[in-house]
Amino acid sequence: MRKPYEGTKVNYIKSQAEIGKILSNEGIYNYQFTHLEGKVILRFAKEIEFEGRKLPLVVQINMSIPKNADNDKKQSKERDRLFRVLKWWIKSKFEAINSGIYETYTIGFVKEFYPNLVFKDEGGRVNTLYDLLMPQLVSAIETGRSDIKMLPDVE
């Protein structure tokens, strides 16, 4: 079975630029791609209004990529493919937010990017909401208890 965007001719740099354009069209100008060995981190900030207050939200998307993508043609093509997937995934999120299926832009933004919202944990480490919640969620499922504190106190 073919993977989505397998065989793409679009270089990852072009996909990254297209992602930047999507974010800019949403009024998101503070964004950063960090390329590490085997991983790309996309982080962006969006101020949203909630009950008369402006809330600065930070979204972080961690994407695994092949470790040898700069030196191996097959791995390079896989990186290109993954960036196409990321581009269309982000585009579809904003299409959902802007389509009217949510009551407001704010509700749509939070629901679409909820697991990727960034918070500091008790030790001052930055984690996505998914990373903070998942251990507690697994524990709640395994024990059948619903009284588990799902979130640590955050700043």
In this prediction, residue 151 carries a pLDDT of: 57
Give percent above pLDDT 90 in the chain: 67
Class of residue 90 by CB neighbours under 10 A (exposed 0-12, middle 13-18, buried 19+)? buried
Distance in angstroms (rounded) separating the CA atoms of residues 148 and 19: 38
Greater confidence (99 vs 141) lies with 99
Greater confidence (69 vs 43) lies with 43
In this prediction, residue 130 carries a pLDDT of: 86
In this prediction, residue 153 carries a pLDDT of: 61
The residue-averaged pLDDT of 57-72 equals: 90
Distance in angstroms (rounded) separating the CA atoms of residues 25 and 109: 14
In this prediction, residue 152 carries a pLDDT of: 58
Does residue 137 carry a pLDDT above 80?
Answer: no
Average pLDDT, the chain: 90
Distance in angstroms (rounded) separating the CA atoms of residues 135 and 139: 6
